[in-house]
Structure 1
Amino acid sequence: MAIKPTIYKFKISLSDLNRDYYTALNLTVAQHPSETVERMMSRVLAYCLNADEQLSFTKGLSSVDEPDIWLRGLDDQLHLWIDVGEPAQERVKKASRMAKATKIYSFNSKSDTWWKQSHSGFASLSVKVYQFEWQDIQRLAQLVSRTCDMSFTITGDSTYITADNGEVEIICRELQG
């Protein structure tokens, strides 16, 4: 019998000062059995950085043909493809052809090595690549509980996150714009 995902419920007060976007989000996020809490929270952070009424989580790790997050228009066209982690160049190339915009959020301890090896292959692609510091993502993961009230304030390249048991600042460093 397959292991089922762990379900997390987030109530997030989002203030994106960069886009003048303010909202309350109620997110139900499934953590895939092979997914770490750090990766799941990187997905939540990427979602908040791109929040929109049409934005949604996909099957993610359960489906190799889908991104972690996407924005589909009312006409079902793929407007935004978001991957979290260190995807292969072929996957990113395919994504950049399918979606009007593609974003990658790299987050883990091997992120620097992945970027050194991959950046030349991404240079010709219309894709934005960002990096979160691994230590910051680890601190963010420590704030999580199965039901969680959080506040995300985005200004410049910083996201300030508070929860009942602490706070963390995450810097979103642009690697390729």
Structure 2
Amino acid sequence: MALKATIYKANVNVADMDRNVFLDSSLTLARHPSETEERLMLRLLAWLCHASERLQFTRGLSAEDEPEIWRMNDHNGIEEWIDLGLPEEKRIKKACNRSASVYLYCYNSRAAQVWWQQHQAKLSQQPNLTVRYIDDRQLSALVAFAARNMTLQATLQDGTIWLSDEQNHLEVRFTDWLINGKAP
């Protein structure tokens, strides 16, 4: 008998001061049976960083030809391709050819550092690729927000994300490894 996805609901209030985006949204996230709560919450955090009316979660782990999150334009073209983890270079190159902007959120300190050393030179050749890294401590702290029904407030400014709910408050800063194909 196959395990089914666990459904999480998140009501989010986003105030992105850098992009002048202010948004209230109700999101539904399906947690794949093989997905950890850390990864689920990173997916939600990535959505918050790019919040927009058109930003959508995809089939994620169930689809090889889709990212975790994307924003489509009026002509079904991909404006933003947002992925998590440490994908193969071939997947990233394909994403960069299909989308105007590609964002990759890396995690898992030990594996991510090795992966970045191996792929940095070739990935730097993609002018529309941004690679961001979150350390294990911050990722673990995100789990405190995980609940089947969440109400979250996120404020983003100058590369910092302040996330809160009724009991928890967290300040998150990604380390940018690559911004539009260039080292920061």
TM-score by length of 1: 0.96
Partner Cα distance (1:154, 1:132) in 2: 16
Partner Cα distance (1:41, 1:107) in 2: 12
Give the drift of 1:176: 0.5
The residue aligned with 1:91 is 91
Spell out structure 1 runs of 4+ moving beyond 3 A: none
Partner Cα distance (1:6, 1:51) in 2: 23
**Unaligned residue ranges in structure 2 (runs of 5+):** 180-184
**Unaligned residue ranges in structure 1 (runs of 5+):** none
Deviates more, 1:113-122 or 1:82-91: 113-122
Give the drift of 1:65: 0.8
The residue aligned with 2:161 is 159
Letter in 2 for 1:173: T
Match of 1:172 among 166, 171, 174: 174
The residue aligned with 2:182 is none
Q: Tell me the alpha carbon deviations over residues 84-124 of structure 1, each in whole angstroms, 9 at most, x when there is no partner.
A: 11111110001000111111011223222221221112011
Aligned residues: 177
Letter in 1 for 2:113: D
Letter in 1 for 2:151: D
- SS of residue in 2 equivalent to 1:125: coil
Partner Cα distance (2:117, 2:160) in 1: 23
The residue aligned with 1:141 is 143
The residue aligned with 1:82 is 82
| Conserved 8 A contact 1:160-1:168 | yes
Deviates more, 1:159-168 or 1:87-96: 159-168
Give the drift of 1:165: 2.2
TM-score by length of 2: 0.93
Letter in 2 for 1:121: K
Letter in 2 for 1:122: L
Counterparts of residues 6-17 of structure 1 (less than 5 Å): 6-17=6-17
Give the drift of 1:79: 1.0
| Conserved 8 A contact 1:133-1:170 | no
Confirm or deny that 1:63 pairs with 2:63: yes
CA RMSD of aligned residues (A): 1.0
Give the drift of 1:50: 0.7
Q: Tell me the alpha carbon deviations over residues 57-86 of structure 1, each in whole angstroms, 9 at most, x when there is no partner.
A: 000000111100011111111111111111
